[in-house]
Amino acid sequence: MREKGLTEKEVFRLLLSHKEKDELYEDGRILNSMSTLPLEIARKAHMMFFETNLGNPDLFPGTVEMERDVIRILSSLMHLSPPNGAFLSGGTEANFTAAWYARETRGRGRMLVPQGAHFSLRKAASILGLEFQEIPLAEGYVMDVGALERAMGDDVSIVVAMAGSTIFGTVDPVGEIGKVLEGYDAHFHVDAAFGGFVLPFLEDLGLFRGAYDFRVKRVDSLCLDPHKMGMATIPAGVLLFRRDMMAPLSFPSPYLTREATPGFLGTRASGAVAATYAALLHLGREGYREIVRRCMENTLFLKSLLEDEFEIPVDPVTNVLNVRVSKPVEYRDYLREQEWYVSAIREYGTLRMVIMPHLSEDVLVEFSEELIHAKRVIG
Ligand SMILES: Cc1ncc(COP(=O)(O)O)c(C=O)c1O
């Protein structure tokens, strides 16, 4: 550490030099991220509450009220009544918390997830000492319900279904999975970290049908991330639950005003709570629907630009598009050299693009030309 501090000007000069090296969502060249540029109002709200700490809620009753409102609005969006949930730091913490609850209430058994589920689940299983088991996918890249049925047993602590999977953006048959689980005590968690802010609005637009949330009675918990398609700031994740899940996950906190503190984190950054609150109120259902409509139109537009050149393994269900390529890593690295960012999915031999709100039609045309050129170069 320096003995004498730098002036504000000097520090900002350094900050700027780092910022200039970072990619910007605004440039539209990021197609490998489920995050985007937050709404301006969300950024301002975040700054208004950047120092508040929900780890010590008695000091910040106003922030607690906002958290409660966010849970109420999102519970209603996911058809959960009465509202019930917790504001966390993102999908990883939400998936971990669901698995933690399952282990505390069902014991150290197996965790069943569809193949290709987000790696946070494998991480949670590792930390919690659960046996991680992947269920194969059926046609349409969703969990094979027959395979799940065969894998089930009384030693299963938790089953996770995806509503907007990380790789394909697909939605597991949550209703059918719920039926399979009826004879078992396993906790049933839906990972809608990505799809939670997409599917309700696709339903409004008549572009998606089927229940993936608390309309399925067997669903115990579900997570959705305001810092992905929710247009809020990082770190923002929400875990909703039918029955209180935090009581078994609460520990004495003698030096705070509350006797027990729930969940994994102590100090909890609360700017993102305010940002989520602001985004929800400002956009309303209409605003989110418009964002999702544009993302979905852009996804289908990109598909139309690429489908003559590449096989499309699954028709986009949400705003995620995969194209089959001969050498995914080579394609990804080639595109990266041209400052385009996509994901290489080795297991399925695809390139994955997430069509977030920061992408425009013009940029997608430019991108498709570059990708088709990559095919000429790589083969
Ligand atoms: C479906 C799904 N679940 C969980 C996560 C983890 O979320 P986070 O990175 O916010 O911890 C992701 C991240 O992309 C995801 O796509």
Statement: residue 199 has pLDDT above 90 = yes
Quote the mean pLDDT of the chain.
97
For residue 269, what pLDDT band results from cuts at 50, 70 and 90? confident
pLDDT score at 117: 97
Q: Which amino acid is at 314?
A: V
From the CA of 89, how far away is ligand 1's center (Å)? 11
For residue 86, what pLDDT band results from cuts at 50, 70 and 90? very high
pLDDT score at 253: 85
- pLDDT tens-digit readout, 304-333: 999 999 999 999 999 999 999 999 999 999
pLDDT score at 30: 97
Token pair in block for residue 210: 């089927």
The CATH number covering residue 110 comes to 3.40.640.10
| Average pLDDT of the residues in 3-8 | 98
In the chain, the percentage of residues whose pLDDT exceeds 90 is 94
Q: Is residue 174 located within the same domain as residue 63? A: yes
Q: Is residue 57 located within the same domain as residue 192? A: yes
Residue with tokens 């991680």: 132
From the CA of 344, how far away is ligand 1's center (Å)? 17
Ligand 1 pocket test: pick from 160, 166, 172, 189 the residue with the most ligand atoms within 8 Å of its Cβ. 166
Q: Is residue 223 located within the same domain as residue 355? A: no
DSSP states along 107-120: -S-EEEEETT--HH
| Average pLDDT of the residues in 73-86 | 98
The CATH number covering residue 370 comes to 3.90.1150.10
Q: Is residue 379 part of a domain?
A: no
Q: Is residue 28 part of a domain?
A: yes
Q: Is residue 108 located within the same domain as residue 217? A: yes
Please tell me the distance from the alpha carbon of residue 305 to that of residue 364, in angstroms, as a whole number: 9
Give the closest residue to 223 by CA, choosing from 362, 327, 71: 71
| Average pLDDT of the residues in 214-218 | 98
- Any ligand 1 atom below 6 A from CB of 172: no
pLDDT score at 259: 78
Give the closest residue to 101 by CA, choosing from 222, 271, 203, 280: 222
Q: Is residue 49 located within the same domain as residue 28? A: no
Cβ–Cβ under 8 Å, residues 300 and 327: no
Q: Is residue 69 located within the same domain as residue 214? A: yes
Residue 112 φ/ψ, nearest 5 degrees = -105, 125
| Average pLDDT of the residues in 241-259 | 88
How many residues in the chain?
Answer: 379
Ligand 1 pocket test: pick from 35, 118, 352, 356 the residue with the most ligand atoms within 8 Å of its Cβ. 118
pLDDT score at 261: 86
Ligand 1 atom closest to the CA of 164, numbered from 1: 1
| Alpha-carbon distances of 321 from 31, 167, 169, 175, 316, rounded to whole Å | 10, 9, 8, 25, 6
| Average pLDDT of the residues in 165-181 | 98
| Average pLDDT of the residues in 251-263 | 83
Last residue of a domain, one of 244, 263, 280: 280
Please tell me the distance from the alpha carbon of residue 152 to that of residue 112, in angstroms, as a whole number: 8
- Any ligand 1 atom below 6 A from CB of 117: no
Report the Cα 102 to chain-centroid distance in Å.
20
CB atoms closer than 10 angstroms to residue 366? 14
| Average pLDDT of the residues in 91-111 | 98
